[in-house]
Amino acid sequence: MPSQDLSSFSRRSFSRSRQSFSRRSFLQLSAAAVACQMVTEPMLAAAARRPIPADGVMIDSNENPLGPCQSARDAISGIIPLGGRYLDNLTDDLIHTFAQLEGLKPEYVHVFPGSTPSLHFGVVAFTSPQKSYVTADPGYEAGMHAASAVEARVVKVPLTKAYAHDVRAMIAAAPDAGLFYICSPNNPTGTLTPHSDIEYLVEKKPKGSIVMVDEAYIHFCEAPSTLDLVKAGKDVIVLRTFSKTYGMAGLRCGFAVARPDLLEKVMDSAGWNFMPVTAVAAASASLKDSKLVPERRRINATVRQETFQWLDRNGYSYIPSESNCFLLDTKRPGKEVIDAMAEQKVFIGRIWPVMPTCVRITVGTHDEMAQFQAALQKVMRGSTAFSSRPEKPRNARRNSRLVS
């Protein structure tokens, strides 16, 4: 079952902006309204969020504080006067630019407003009461909600000791699989699953199933993409987004990349819609900026490394990450730390039930992480009272890479 109860979430209440979004309204709305609700990272973050002060530090949603690059901002300004037109040629241009950069055939690429719709409708297309959804635990939860909406069995398989997806256990756990969801780097751990393991899964998975590889965070690390498996005609759908490294979460643009017959099935569920011209113009400009990815990868790695060094010096435990988020083991019920940090105006990410003492931290700017450090010291060194005694993570022995 999904790790978080989103059954009463309504799109209307979410669009009231996250500042005004109230946990009470979240919990009170009817389940029927969300039978097939797409679940997104900001919804999952908002479920644990209270009103945010203007000077709050937001490191709870894996956003990129740098926002769009300069050429993307210029492209947005430039396209505004043409915002009264549908201009679908801009989407074609974006597809061709991406296809050329990655050596793909354009018909293997479809553009969506973010990667959420392709994740959601991909799961809806390939799972059912007879075809289960197989994912990692802890893993990104959105697909589980989509699978539950179509009454598919949700199979959660623990990560390996190295926090990779345990592909062999995933295959063994679900001979009836419709879709295997792999997120690498994984949300929330920021850890990688080796390409060779994904290849193994693709070769050994049950006939008729597909592998969805979510590469939302791939540009933060040097790991190889799995687009080569798509090019080789395998049963693989790769998801990409402009929300993370490209800093365009609020602009909404992403790709589903797969064989045309697989994309067609996703589109049968998703229907067709028009992309906002601002998002498409900004995405094209971002792809053409060859410095963007290496520069942002370096900035994120530098701040992440500084943060890890500070955590090491101060005796905290965390899982080393290759991404813009990591899990911090607070050795206490994580929810208490989240609440106490919010009192300090630092808004950190949620917990996953399988690791109840760990909280997800997004890597923000250098200054944001300095505020995070100050608040964490205050909270953990006792100036904020905790209601319960320190607790051991349930999987402490298994998690050999937890640094402490």
Ligand X SMILES: Cc1ncc(COP(=O)(O)O)c(C=O)c1O
Residues binding ligand X (CB under 6 A): 40-41, 62, 114-116, 119, 140, 183, 187, 214, 216, 241, 243, 249, 254
Minimum Å distance from CB 230 to ligand X? 17
Judged by beta carbon, residue 193 or residue 344, the one nearer ligand X is: 193
Q: Using an 8 Å Cβ cutoff, are 180 and 170 in contact? A: yes
| Closer residue to ligand X (CB): 190 or 393 | 190
Q: How far is Cα 192 from Cα 333, in angstroms, rounded to an integer?
A: 26
Shortest spacing between CB 38 and ligand X, in angstroms: 9
Tell me whether residue 254 or residue 364 sits nearer to ligand X (CB atom). 254
What distance lies between CA 163 and its chain's CA centroid? 16
Cβ nearer to ligand X, comparing 117 with 333: 117
Return the SS3 of 57: strand
User: Please, are residues 403 and 312 in contact by the beta-carbon 8 Å criterion?
Assistant: yes
What are phi and psi for residue 318, nearest 5 degrees? -155, 165
CB of 87 to ligand X, least distance (A): 22
Closest CA to 63 of 274, 220, 283, 292: 220
- Where helices occur in 344-401 by DSSP H, the ranges are 366-380
CB of 115 to ligand X, least distance (A): 4
Assigned token pair, 133 = 């959804």
- Whose Cβ is closer to ligand X: residue 224's or residue 390's? 224
In this complex, which beta carbon is closest to ligand X, that of residue 114 or of residue 178? 114
To which residue do tokens 């905790």 refer? 386
Burial code of 29-41, b = ≥16 C-beta within 10 A, e = fewer? beeeebeebbbbb
Q: How far is the CB of 217 from ligand X (least distance, A)?
A: 7
Give the burial class of 364: count Cβ atoms within 10 A of its Cβ; 0-12 exposed, 13-18 middle, 19 or more buried.
buried
- Least distance (Å) between residue 37 CB and ligand X: 14
Compute the distance between CA of residue 352 and CA of residue 264 in angstroms, rounded to an integer: 34
**Distance between CA 229 and CA 108 in Å, rounded?**
12
- By beta-carbon proximity to ligand X, the closer residue of 26 and 181 is 181
Smallest distance from the beta carbon of 329 to ligand X, in angstroms?
Answer: 20
